[in-house]
Amino acid sequence: MHPGAKLRAALTGKGLIVAPGIYDMISARIADGMGFPALYMTGYGVSASLGLPDAGLVTYTEMAGRVAQVCQGTATPVICDADTGFGGLLNLERTVRGYEAAGAAAIQIEDQVFPKRCGHTLGRRVVPAEDMVRKIEVAAATRSSPDFLIVARTDARTSLGLDEALHRGEAYAKAGADILFIESPESEAEMARIGRHFDLPLIANMVEGGRTPTLPRARLDELGYRIAIYPVTGLLAAAAALEQAYGVLKAEGASETLGSELYGFDRLCRLVGFEEVWEFEKRWPEV
């Protein structure tokens, strides 16, 4: 079964799909074991894991490699951020093929000018709507299965206003998008207007400290959203935990006081696959 078929089935059900942001294999495997209906591979998080801002600096090769690692190492459908498609239409064709072959359930493409920026920062510019329409048409024609879902994101709200963002969403839906992502509405009223405007499944981007209000699951469901992504929640939590742990080491020169705050070493060994190594070594001992 195509991984996108699982996501499509989840979209036909009731209730909001909550998709945590993942950015490396530790975050992916922890989230994968918790029973979420979908995961979201965040470009911001992948960039941050490489020590880079989400500003169009990570290449297609780096992102496609991370898609393959994440999707082949998990069982949950993964929505994968592909920024602007990493270039023109020919680049986008390669990106669609690469992400689908790597096991993504859905690919997210946005209408920013390259190099893109994080959707909750200033300085974003968008391409003409007709350019993005062609990208969606190419993506739809390139995918090998209709179950490989296309997420069309517009960043027009911040620079051109909500009316333009809604107009673009309509055009992208007609071009073949399966899911719409109207990025960074700035009030609950704007989110409600977006929810009333479209029949296609909608993504709400819940960024703690970002431009959009972070709302409870029930309210997002009422507003008409089908998926809520939390792209940086895990990353922010991990950064805070690391800062605390390293602070204790610096202050005390030891880790004893951290105690139960640490993930168990045995659990981590099993999470990363040491059980398979131990089983292999039992079957094939070194002579």
Which residues of the chain register pLDDT less than 50?
none
Task: Report the pLDDT value the prediction gives residue 148, as an integer from 0 to 100.
Answer: 98
- From the list 203, 164, 163, 213, the residue with the least C-alpha distance to 183 is 203
Domains, the chain, ordered by start: 3-234 (3.20.20.60), 239-283 (no CATH)
What is the percent of the chain with per-residue pLDDT over 90, rounded to a whole number? 89
pLDDT value at position 120?
67
Q: How many residues does the chain have?
A: 287
Can you read off the two tokens belonging to residue 181? 């992502």
Q: In this predicted structure, what is the pLDDT of residue 119?
A: 55
DSSP 212: S
What is the pLDDT, as a whole number, of residue 121?
Answer: 65
Contacts of 204 (CB under 8 A, 6+ apart): 191, 212, 215, 220, 223, 225, 227, 228, 229
- Can you tell me the distance from the alpha carbon of 6 to that of 2, in angstroms, rounded to the nearest whole number? 8
Q: Which of helix, strand or coil describes residue 75?
A: coil
Nearest residue to 39 (alpha-carbon basis) of 86, 87, 106, 85: 106
pLDDT in the model for residue 273: 93
- pLDDT of 226-247, one tens digit each? 999 999 999 999 999 999 999 9
Q: Of 236, 198, 235, 231, which is closest to residue 212 (Cα–Cα)? A: 231
Type of residue at 244: Q
Which DSSP string corresponds to 34-63?
TT-S-EEE-HHHHHHHTT--TTT-S-HHHH
Q: Which residues pair with 112 in a beta bridge?
A: 126
